[in-house]
Amino acid sequence: MRTALRKAVPAAIPFLAITIAIESLVRAGWVKAWLVPPPSAIFQTIVRDAPELFRALAMTSFGALTGFALSAAFGIAIAVYLSSSRAIQQAFYPYAIFFQTVPIIAIAPLLVIWFGYGLRTVVASAFIVSIFPVIANTLSGILSTDRALRDLFSLYGASRSATLWKLSFPAALPQILTGLRIAGGLAVIGAIVGEFIGGQGLGAVVDVARTQQRTDKVFAAVLLASFLGLALFGLINLLSRVVLQRWHASEQN
Amino acid sequence: MTEATTPTTSPITTGVALRLHQVRRAFDSLPVITSFSLNVDAGEFLAILGPSGCGKSTLLRLIAGLIQPDSGTVSLSPADTKFQTAYVFQDPHLLPWRTVLENAALPLELMGVDRAPRLAKAHAALADVGLTEAESRYPAQLSGGMRMRVSLARALVTEPRLLLLDEPFAALDEITRFRLDVSLRSLWLERGMTVIFVTHSITEAAFLADRAIVLTGKGGIVKLDRRLNLPRVRNNDLRVNPQLALETQALLTAMEEES
Amino acid sequence: MTKPTNFPRRTLLKLLPAAGLLAACGKSSKTRLALNWKPDPEFGGFYAADFAKHGLDVELLPGGSGTPTVQMIGAGSAEFGIIQADELLLARSRGNDVVALFAAFQSCPTGIMAHASRKLESIGDVLRNGTLAMESGLPFARLLEKKFGFDHVKIVPSPGGDLTAFLHDENFAQQCFITAEPLQARRKGVDVKVFPVSDIGYNPYTTVVATSRALLQKNPEMVKNMVAAVREGWAAYLQDPTATNQKMHALNPSMELPSYTEIAQAQKPLIGASPLGKMTAERWDALAAQLKELGDIPKTLPASDCFVDL
């Protein structure tokens, strides 16, 4: 706990510095408050609109986490399947890339038709936006298995599944976790984009606040969304540490 | 020098004999091994020397059956018994998420041996390389020399009849290397398996082996095939023995002509 | 794409409302008029205007979803911009000193369209069941809520000008520009019934040319010339939109030329005033009172601060 605090201090310094800088610039009249709301106003908004904002945050969190969990599960499963043969990779990998390039905004109206307004559209959006890095990283991790170890496994007659589960998959874990880390941030973005379309959570708060020119509230919602992204990132890092603690040099200290 | 005519086989012969006949192997139509022939007696300790890129590693992989020759034959005698070959790489290549004991037990696990007996055997193999205390540690917590010992224990755990080593100690500091050389030699004396040891260190080849061959840079042609006239039991005293210097000199001459 | 919904235009990437400011940061010697959508008949009078005749070199900046024109004017990244009256009141109450000059649309073209097959009689009927897609942050939306309540209707975000959901679901109604989406829906074979939001007494001036108080004070002559040029432009466009429509179609070919003609015709009744663009203190006061009642602005703003009659 104490080390966590000590780690948080250096990260808090730029945050405080920027906060103070913006506040002073706005108070001095150098920057107009209706363009960049002063941090104090954002904070007041968070306090005043706390019930609404935190209910929205809870909805966004649920949508983002569900989408992320689906991405993790399906992404890893798809990558494992793709890794089974070069022919399968050539046949299906281009379609995995589709997930990365799909302009989520362009297909937004369709998402609503397919999944209806509300949570399912949010989850679908978070899922579509975040699955690709999981697939790409898992696949590249599995495919880059040490050749010497592959030789060793074949020397002792290991089956394909034994090679996958006792060698390739665990060896790919650091890369899988990197993929999950990227996917976590994307899932939050995907969820919020989904909420613009699907109409709930922080996305809807931003939508409404923007039409009302409530920049303070827009920023308040954005700030909460960032904290959600940060929390998800921290969660995955924690998972990473637990999984990799003993065997990765990068996690040694 | 009471044993001037030391037999090249160890006393308890459990090793296999090996015969390579006109073996050819190319990669992407670039020949790496061209018409290579070699006979190795059961229980022999053979060192293979040669410049980088002369096909030493390819040769080992061919012998291990990890790759097949394009033409020619590789045969073991007695004929291929499953899992009688073990392979030690230049780097330890341990599984970082497994303890030392679990790493040493890996080959038996892949072969389908039950947990209790395989851990017992792994424990014994680790004892043979002097690593009993480190059993529950993870590779990241070990020194380079200790990791190589684990790698060696992993190779020995199946009681192989043919042990292939591909420049195994090259990356280690000299003190550690000397120590491992002595360990390896005495393990061979105890067990009597056939050992093929690829190295680019002439002194290491001379110190370890009873027979050394020098390959040329092109296509793995045997340039020199020499029986080394050295005592069977070897320890670090041998390193300052003039006899070793003589053998080293002979190998060096062949190597120098080559390069 | 046809004419999308009411403005401020719906956007899907609105995390940074001031994003448009960054894009428009480069200083230009030209006078800039920032539009809040792509060239289309709503801006016909501006494309028809002969600015040179009034000694102006004007560049029309086409906008897109959520172009924050009112903030652009305040920040000086455009000298003039197109806004809606309620937007201006919100901006003023937040300290952005923007002034209205010319209201092209006397009647607000925002409406709600529903499938004619539902046989709805009034805007209140739309809220009796089904789904309604609209920008729920807009004052008219909350006025609707206040008047009728949203207990029986599902409110979802406006899909912009997209009709996919509307065409797909008979019980789906959506916010629209009464001159645009209904035409498109009919063309797709769906008969629609349209309810302008002015039915419930909400009728802000729309497609309003605005500028900053600073510019108005610094260069009143230029502002005056701008208004004169725009007024003549709209008169010309009402007279004969053909050439201007072709010009705009060339700039924005995503909409068919016949649609330009149809919309230009359909919007005529919303424009008429004498002289063109005229605004009255009564209507500004009425709008301010409505917004105050809705809680959008903390106190009513004097009409004299909001617009100038040039």
How far lies C122's CA from each of A37, B185, C163, C193, C198, in Å? 41, 99, 22, 10, 12
Tokens 């599902």 locate to: C154
Residue A172 confidence (pLDDT): 94
Decide if A138 is inside a domain: yes
Least confident of A244-253, C19-28, C84-93, C226-235: C19-28
CB contact (8 A) between residue A157 and residue B91: no
Decide if A6 is inside a domain: no
**Facing residue for A110 by CB, picked from C94, C135, C164:** C164
Residue A247 confidence (pLDDT): 67
**C80-83/C206-212 β-pairing:** antiparallel
- CA C32/CA C55 separation, integer angstroms: 14
Q: Report whether pLDDT(C182) > 90.
A: yes
Decide if A22 is inside a domain: no
CATH number reported for the structural domain that contains residue A205 in this entry = 1.10.3720.10
Contacts of A36 in chain C (CB under 8 A): 18
Residue A250 confidence (pLDDT): 44
Contacts of B106 in chain A (CB under 8 A): 152, 156, 166
Q: Which residues of chain A have pLDDT under 70?
A: 1-4, 246-253
Residue C19 confidence (pLDDT): 40
- Residue C5 binned pLDDT confidence (cut-offs 50, 70, 90): very low
Which one has a higher pLDDT value, B76 or B259?
B76
Q: Which residue of B has its CA nearest to A146?
A: B93
Range of the domain at A184: 59-251
- Residue B8 binned pLDDT confidence (cut-offs 50, 70, 90): low
Starting at the edge strand found earlier in the chain, the sheet holding C80-83 runs C58-61, C31-34, C80-83, C206-212, C98-105
Reduce the DSSP state of residue B26 to 3 states and report it. strand
Q: Report whether pLDDT(C6) > 60.
A: no
Residue B259 confidence (pLDDT): 60
Kindly list the structural domains of chain C, giving each domain's residue range(s) and its CATH number in brackets, ordered by start.
19-107+204-306 (3.40.190.10), 110-200 (3.40.190.10)
Least confident of A89-98, C93-102, C281-290: A89-98
Contacts of C96 in chain A (CB under 8 A): 32, 34
Of B239, B91, B251, which Cα lies nearest the Cα of B165?
B91
CB pairs under 8 A between A and B: 60
DSSP string of C287-310, one letter each residue: HHHHHHHHTSSSS---HHHHB---
Average pLDDT value for residue range B53-70: 88
Contacts of A170 in chain B (CB under 8 A): 95, 97
- Residue C186 binned pLDDT confidence (cut-offs 50, 70, 90): very high
ipTM above 0.90, yes or no: no
Do residues C66 and C18 touch, judged by C-beta distance below 8 A?
Answer: no
Q: What is the DSSP letter of B240?
A: G
Domain edges within chain B: 14-54+70-84+163-259, 93-159
Q: Which residues contact B179 (CB under 8 A, 6 or more apart)?
A: B145
Q: Which residue of B has its CA nearest to A165?
A: B110
Phi, psi of B97 (to 5 degrees): -90, 5
**Facing residue for B87 by CB, picked from A146, A152, A170:** A152
Q: Report whether pLDDT(C9) > 50.
A: no
- CA A174/CA C44 separation, integer angstroms: 59
- CA B156/CA B167 separation, integer angstroms: 17
Q: What percent of chain C has a predicted confidence (pLDDT) above 70? A: 91
Domain count for chain A: 1
* Mutate which: A207, A211, A224, vs C, most C CBs within 10 A: A211
Contacts of A247 in chain B (CB under 8 A): 96-97, 138-140
Least confident of A132-146, B1-15, C128-142: B1-15
Average pLDDT value for residue range C117-145: 92
Q: What is the pLDDT of residues C192-226, one digit of tens each?
A: 999 999 999 999 999 999 999 999 999 999 999 99
Q: What is the pLDDT of residues A158-188, one digit of tens each?
A: 999 999 999 999 999 999 999 999 999 999 9
Q: Report whether pLDDT(B35) > 90.
A: no
Contact of chains C and B by CB distance (3 or more pairs under 8 angstroms): no
Residue B158 confidence (pLDDT): 92
CATH class of B14-54+70-84+163-259: alpha beta
CB contact (8 A) between residue B89 and residue A148: yes
What are chain C's partners, defined as 3 or more CB pairs within 8 angstroms?
A
- Residue B4 binned pLDDT confidence (cut-offs 50, 70, 90): very low
Least confident of A71-85, B219-233, C211-225, C295-309: B219-233
